[in-house]
Structure 1
Amino acid sequence: MSSVTTARVERVAGWRVVCDRILQWVALLGLVLALLQVAFAALGFWGAEEKPGDQAWGMAAFEPHAIDGQVLYIVAAVMFILGLLSRANWKVWVIPLVLFILLYFVQGLLVGLGFGISRWFGFLHAVDGVLIIAGFAWVFFDRLRHPLRGE
């Protein structure tokens, strides 16, 4: 005897489906911007190496990386709001909340500690960046695989 189980598809209000779709695309935007962060960090590093003793030049070289980071925490905040509105599952608002905390508080702290105390904090800044990329990717692919369905 074989039993076949099918996944139950819950129908939700149309506005929740719209929030879910917007969340999916905003997560993709966050993923692309987070991946660009790696290129911007390399650009900043090699740009700063052009004039090794000039601190102002070094800061200017990392400006695209810094601006993109600020845009990313706004993207994470928007994802948090959309996740709360869509109510698809608890992860669609918890992961953006964690991303916001990592982007807004932890990344800046690690950069400061990396320059001021030890380069190992700079290493942790990069590892944290990988976790941020993974968070944006998880939300995007989760919403792609399990979208909400309307009434």
Structure 2
Amino acid sequence: MKQSAIKASKSSAGKGCLGTLVGRAHLAALASVFLVLSPSAGVAETPEDYLRNPYSRDDNQVIARGGEMFGRNCQQCHNSHGKGGKAPQIIRGAWGPDGANSDAFMFDTINAGRKGTQMGAWGLSLPPEDIWAIITYIRAEAVKAKLEDDQDEQ
């Protein structure tokens, strides 16, 4: 990779990322190489497992850590608890408990960003375990929002 591309990805603090440069398929391939080289290094056993949330959705320690990471990295755009601000809300609809967006889709979105939007790639700034913790936190907040919505309807 040219030095200018490396400088560009490093200078955009969360906007440049390995996932953006190589894409999801390549990320899974890299994960499989990592697993072959060090099979006991992580929770993933296959490339597909790399895109599966390793944390339980009710692990309060992970939720708290994810909330802290969310506050530091995501809240400025998605507002407190993911309720939306200058960026979309991420706890209802497709992002909600019964929504269409899977954990793998959420991981890919945070890791690689979204083209054509202000959602930058965080894959070089945040390790996968922090991204998964953030997703676990978002899922917990989505469950709370659904309970609030259900109570409001009654």
TM-score (norm 1): 0.28
Structure with larger RCO (C-alpha < 8 A, sep 6+): 1
Higher-helix-fraction structure: 1
Larger radius of gyration: 1
